[in-house]
Structure 1
Amino acid sequence: MSATPDTCSPCPGTARELARALLRHARAGHPDAGFFAAVLGKRLAQKDLAGCGLSSQELDAMLARLFPGASASPDASLAALREQGAAYAAFGLDGAQAEFAQWLRTLLDAWRAPGIDTTPWVTGVLAHACLRPDHLWRDLGLSGREDVTALLARHYPRLMARNARHLRWKQFLAYSAREHAGLPPAPAPGCPGCEDYGVCYPPASP
């Protein structure tokens, strides 16, 4: 997937710069390098590296796999990666968030495409991104919904094809995760804080 860092984050120039610095170390031709560079660029720019949704061990493995040399690079643009990596803190979740994240992980694991070694990392990123109050593509640092569509088509193609109603992806993933868990549909934990909550979940008619 070739994702483009977004232009709508609170500090887009910084996020873009960080993503581009990572891409200078990307393994040539890897289809997920753009996605992970955008995600990490956004998280680093917001001083929230742990919010990427990966454990410190998963993050180290992903960097070694997709961006070899980035962590040790003398590139000043990547100083934030070293600094925040050294102070990595666990991503704390309350009970409801942790429960939802587990439902979504279980769903994505059930529908993952075979043979793609980066999919577990994508699953971790998506499970945490759905906890935050923003459009999924924007939270991930991508350029638009089409980037999320391409990501899902690569890693979970049969699940993506089930979105016959063309719901927004966070809404679709939330509904699907709860359905898979045998529960009625409900928003993702981050949805109520989104600016478009009323569009996805309009008030019931009296």
Structure 2
Amino acid sequence: MLTGKAPADANITTDANLDRHVLASILAAATMDGGSLLENVGLSCVELAALLQHYFPSTKISAAEQAAPPKGEDHEEIAMLRDLLLKHRSTQGDIGRWLAAMIARRAMEPDHLWEALGLRNRGELALVLSRHFGPLAAHNVKNMRWKRFFYRMLCENEGLVMCTTPVCDQCNEFNICFGEESGDSRLAERRRDVL
């Protein structure tokens, strides 16, 4: 609805197309969760309105209609992850701030991060992280699952160790951190259920 194309047909070969696809995917996944869109994406009413105006000006979604009563402080984990992402931004402008907030909020969902963001696969997540948070993405040299990687980075920044062994391939939880992340996206599953 936001892009005018089926998600499977999204062309993400340019940065602008990738950004638009990722934002549409996150908004779609957050909408599927029910409740306040603002709360589900981690943006303020002003931020969501600016995002919609810039990337999806013809949308019928009104940020004001999605408003929830103002909440207090961000969830501590969301704030920590958002700050980690912002610290490693590799692009300028609003989109990096919006994506940091959206990724941090969606990381609280139980699915793999690429699924919680509504993306088609893990590769799309790697593309957006490399584009907007390049220095952080470059540290994931062993291709650890992104949520695990983020928490590992947060722990290391605090001087904590989350791992039980110093070498990953000797750890009993290796498959939890590095296991397969394939399958159908949440949006594809939902479309199939509707059809």
The TM-score, its normalising length taken from structure 2, stands at 0.69
Q: Give how far 1:201 is off.
A: 6.1
Q: CA separation of 1:201/1:90 partners in 2, compared to 1, >3 Å: closer, same or farther?
A: farther
Question: 3-state SS of the aligned residue for 1:41?
Answer: helix
Choose the corresponding residue for 1:86, options 65, 68, 77: 65
The AA in structure 1 aligned to 2:25 is A
Tell me the percent identity: 29
Spell out the pairing of 1:127-166 with structure 2 (5 A cutoff).
127-166=104-143
- Number of residues paired by the alignment? 157
Which position in structure 2 is the counterpart of 1:171? 148
Question: Is 41-50 or 136-145 further displaced after alignment?
Answer: 41-50
Extract unaligned runs of 5+ from structure 1: 1-20, 72-80, 187-196
1:51-102 CA-to-partner distances (Å, cap 9, x unmatched) read 012111111111111111313xxxxxxxxx34x8514226969x9x822122
2:32 is aligned with 1:34: no
The TM-score, its normalising length taken from structure 1, stands at 0.66
The AA in structure 1 aligned to 2:56 is F
Which position in structure 2 is the counterpart of 1:24? 4
Q: Give how far 1:180 is off.
A: 2.3
Spell out the pairing of 1:101-116 with structure 2 (5 A cutoff).
101-116=78-93
Aligned alpha-carbon RMSD (Å): 2.9
Cα distance in 2 for partners of 1:85, 1:53 equals 15
Q: Give how far 1:34 is off.
A: 0.4
Cα distance in 2 for partners of 1:141, 1:23 equals 14
Extract unaligned runs of 5+ from structure 2: 6-15, 164-172, 179-195
